[in-house]
Amino acid sequence: MTVHPGEHKKIQDLHPEEAIAPGSALCAGCGGLEGIRLALKELGENVLIANAAGCFTLLSVFPFTPFKGSWLYTTMAAPVPAAQGVRDALDIRREAGRLAEEDDFQVMVVAGDGSSADMGLAPTSAAIHRRLDFFYFCYDNEAYGNTGFQLSGASPYGSATQTAPATAGHPAGAELGKKDLFEIWKAQNPPYIATVSPREPIDLSNKFARAKSLHGARLFLCLSPCPTGWGFDPRETHLIAKLAVDTGIFPLKEYIDGQVVHTRVPKKRVPVENYLERQKRFRHLFQPKRQDEIITRIQQGVDSYWARYE
């Protein structure tokens, strides 16, 4: 792991100001909310969020908003094009001297995994291609959570969702693997990509701090343990997030200067079972009958991922 000078080393180093107030309409224990809270601590309040319809659209509900920064909703599939328009217009106005520097702001897209992996992917790809200067924050709870947890392109193999329940004919639930957005984005060589976890605040903050000094598309995939969709007690969010990293299911990494660097490597990986068995969406793998074949396949997927780096 590379240590960068001047980076945060302990929790007390994090920015004391909050750019998002508590008490929003999101579910208790939402992992993504903690992620965006930490991100905004690092980015400050001069951020315009272009949102895609999803859970986080409930953050700014008339007449309340928890943000110190600004919020823009256009359409579900096109938060990135909206960010593009805003960025370009602000650049033009700044160049023409019609906008003071302190009135300018960073543009950040906030979208769920459904929008990011499915309907919003083409515009995102185009914006990376155009080298748009923006942040992209994807809160990844591995399904369309806001509408009742339906299968998305990011739902992992073996998880049950509303549209992919586990049945006798389909014992795994979701039968396809999780779309690897990190690799898809990487293929276009943007200046920065990172995976972050709310359970690793220092890692997350350092990644945003690093990205802040860069220009271009800076993309973040934030694992968002989802108490309602995944089926666990809200108080266990951090435990689930920790297990996701410790089992190696959710690798924390970043892509910078053309290199993928893992920022937290579990010394000895905990068996995936420990992560799966705590969630209702994987319960069919253990009850009424243990489905070893599926659990083994999930474990093999994780092992073969890490084998590439060990």
Partner 1 sequence: MNKQVESPKGRIIKSRHVKLGTKNKKGQTFTDVNEMFFEAERTASFLTGSEVIREAIKRASVGMSIAYPITPQSEAAALIGELYAEGYLDDYFRGESEFAVMSQCAGAAFGGMRVFTTTAGPGTLRAMENFSMWAGSRLPIQVCVTMRGVNSPLSIQPDTLELSYLLESGMLLWHAETAQDLYDFILKGFIVAEQPDVHLPIAVCCDGFFVTHTKDTVELTPEDLCLTPYDPYKSPVPCMDMECPPIRMMRDPFVMKSNYISYSTHASWQQEVRAAIERSRKHTAALIGGLIDVENNDRDILIVSSGTAVSQGREAIRLLEEEGIKVGLVKIKTIRPFPHEEVREAVKNAKHIFVPEFNMAGWLAREIKSVINDNDRVICGPQVAGGMTLPSEVIVEEIKKYLGIKVGSLAGRGS
Q: Which of 25, 28, 176, 261 binds partner 1 (CB under 8 A)?
A: 25
Residue 260, φ and ψ in degrees, nearest 5: -95, 125
Rounded Cα–Cα distance for residues 21 and 45 (Å): 12
- Minimum CB distance to partner 1 smaller for 3 or for 96: 96
**Residue 146 near residue 158 (C-beta atoms within 8 A):** no
Cis-peptide into 288, omega within 30 deg: yes
Binding mask 58-97 for partner 1 (x = CB under 8 A): x-xxxxxx-x-xxxxxxx-xx-xxxxxxxxxxxxxx--x-
Distances (CA, A) of 51 to 12, 149, 197: 30, 19, 20
Binding flag, residue 291, partner 1 (CB under 8 A): no
Look-up of token digits 């993928």: 260
- Minimum CB distance to partner 1 smaller for 21 or for 61: 61
Residue 47 Cβ vs partner 1, minimum distance, rounded to whole Å: 10
Binding flag, residue 130, partner 1 (CB under 8 A): yes
How many CA within 13 A on the CB side of residue 74?
16
Rounded Cα–Cα distance for residues 167 and 146 (Å): 23
Binding flag, residue 245, partner 1 (CB under 8 A): no
Residue 211 Cβ vs partner 1, minimum distance, rounded to whole Å: 21
Binding mask 32-61 for partner 1 (x = CB under 8 A): --------------x-xxx------xx-xx
As to burial, measured by CB atoms within 10 angstroms (0-12 exposed, 13-18 middle, 19+ buried), residue 259 is exposed
Q: Which of residues 203-242 bind partner 1 (CB under 8 A)?
A: none
Give the residues lining the site for partner 1 (CB under 8 A): 25, 46, 48-50, 57-58, 60-65, 67, 69-75, 77-78, 80-93, 96, 98, 103, 105, 122-123, 125-126, 130
